[in-house]
Amino acid sequence: MDKNEAKQLNLIAKKLFRSHYDGCGNSDPNNCGACALLTGNEEGPNYAGWGRVFVEAERPIPSKWRMAFYDELASENEAYRKKLDESVREFGVRWI
């Protein structure tokens, strides 16, 4: 991944955390992607590809989602798994 691609992925991922729909009220994880990224139990957020979004946005992943993130790293979806691995190498992983 070159620096320009990394910068673009970072900007897009950060925007996903702020992109609530009008009227959402920051409390609708069933219909709002930004809300879904910030909620979830031990299985992680109900958002496809959430691990990659967190890594590329350089957002810390809550420790309660650690095992769910490891599951993301071992995804059966080979294309996703490769891209996530590439993103982890570029951006690293942060935990809280």
The pLDDT tens digits for 50-96 are 999 999 999 999 999 999 999 999 999 999 999 999 999 999 999 99
Degrees (nearest 5) of the Cα angle 49, 37, 4? Answer: 60
Measured distance CA(68)–CA(58) in Å, rounded: 17
Q: What is the pLDDT of residues 10-53, one digit of tens each?
A: 999 999 999 999 989 888 999 999 999 999 889 999 999 999 99
Domain boundaries, the chain: 3-91
Q: How many residues does the chain have?
A: 96
**H or E segment at 37?**
helix 33-37
